[in-house]
């Protein structure tokens, strides 16, 4: 389910909860006759509101931190690829095979991580892991050949750093907000809006305020679901650094 679909459902659930609360007030006016009963309901709603605010705020802050980390990893990966290419150019022409493998490896990374971006080698049959192993093997052959050993060791160190960055990206990929977390949060918000509908007088201004509040919380849920996966959805990290690195490899 996409973030937009979830948000629309949440908006409908919040508005429906407020309408249910208002219907209870109309159909059972004696429910709020007791002052003590109203105080208990208000305190419970306040407690739920605090819990929901804490959960929503901490979740968005945590997911935004993960999102920013994924963006930094993409930029780091692009700079490491460019650094590896510069290192290999220092030992051309023996490193021609390794540079070609690096280009194909980068193109597959762009294709797999950002399918919507335009990149060559869309029909590359091999995966990034296989090309990474081939690149590592090519560097091993360079180390055993006439190339300068120090430069080959530098290239191998950069490739190792690329592997580490890829592992970090794979840990950040995929949804990080579980269904039960989102369900509990939405349930709490529905209880709050049901309580607001129960206590709010029936007039147009308050209906507009409740509607705008539902819209605001809907956008918060949208951010929560979109930040959950940095590489999918409407809000994603930019793939331009990797594309720029790919273009640099193609031009050299």
Regarding predicted confidence, which is higher, 88 or 200?
88
Instruction: Please report which confidence band the pLDDT of residue 112 belongs to, taking 50, 70 and 90 as the band edges.
Output: confident
pLDDT tens by residue, 33-54 = 567 777 888 888 899 999 998 9
Instruction: Please report which confidence band the pLDDT of residue 118 belongs to, taking 50, 70 and 90 as the band edges.
Output: low
Which domain, by its residues, includes 150? 3-251
Looking at residue 33, its pLDDT comes to 55
Instruction: Sort residue 121 into left (φ over 0), alpha (ψ -120 to 50) or beta.
Output: left
Concatenated DSSP letters for the chain? --HHHHHHHHHHHHHHHHHHHHHHHHH-GGGG--HHHHHHHHHHHHHHHHHHHHHHHHHHHHHHHHHHHHHHHHHHHHHHHHHHHHHHHTTTTTTHHHHHHHHHHHHHHHHHH-TTS--S-TT--S-HHHHHHHHHHHHHHHHHTTS-HHHHHHHHHHHHHHHHHHHHHHHH-S--S-HHHHHHHHHHHHHHHHHHHHHS-S-HHHHHHHHHHHHHHHHHHHHHHHTT-TTSSSS----HHHHHHHHHHHH-
**Mean local confidence (pLDDT), 175-192:** 84
Looking at residue 122, its pLDDT comes to 58
Which single residue is written with the structure tokens 């109203």? 38
Range in 125-134, 137-146, 160-169 with the lowest mean pLDDT: 137-146
Instruction: Please report which confidence band the pLDDT of residue 84 belongs to, taking 50, 70 and 90 as the band edges.
Output: very high
User: Is the per-residue pLDDT at 119 higher than 70?
Assistant: no
Looking at residue 202, its pLDDT comes to 79
Domain tally, the chain: 1
Instruction: Please report which confidence band the pLDDT of residue 146 belongs to, taking 50, 70 and 90 as the band edges.
Output: low
Instruction: Please report which confidence band the pLDDT of residue 226 belongs to, taking 50, 70 and 90 as the band edges.
Output: confident
């Amino acid at each position: 389910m996409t973030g937009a679909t979830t948000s629309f459902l949440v908006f409908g659930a919040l508005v429906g909860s407020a309408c249910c609360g208002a219907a209870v007030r109309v159909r059972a006016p004696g429910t709020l006759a007791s002052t003590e009963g109203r105080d208990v309901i208000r305190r419970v709603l306040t407690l739920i509101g605090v819990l929901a605010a804490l959960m929503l705020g901490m979740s968005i802050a945590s997911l935004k931190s993960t999102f920013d980390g994924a963006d930094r990893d993409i930029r780091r990966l692009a700079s490491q690829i460019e650094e590896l290419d510069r290192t290999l150019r220092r030992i051309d022409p023996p490193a021609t095979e390794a540079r070609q493998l690096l280009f194909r490896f980068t193109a597959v990374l762009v294709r797999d991580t950002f399918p919507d971006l335009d990149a060559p080698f869309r029909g590359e049959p091999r995966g990034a892991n296989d090309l990474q192993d081939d690149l590592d093997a090519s560097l091993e052959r360079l180390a055993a050949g006439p190339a300068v050993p120090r430069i080959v060791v530098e290239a191998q160190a950069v490739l190792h750093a690329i592997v580490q960055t890829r592992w970090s990206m794979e840990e950040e990929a995929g949804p990080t907000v579980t269904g039960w977390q989102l369900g509990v949060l939405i349930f709490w918000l529905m209880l709050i809006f049901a309580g607001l509908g129960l206590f709010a007088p029936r007039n147009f201004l308050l209906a507009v305020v409740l509607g705008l509040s539902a819209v605001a919380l809907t956008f918060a849920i949208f951010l929560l679901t979109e930040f959950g996966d940095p590489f999918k959805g409407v809000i994603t990290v930019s793939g331009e650094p990797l594309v720029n690195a790919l273009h640099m490899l193609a031009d050299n």
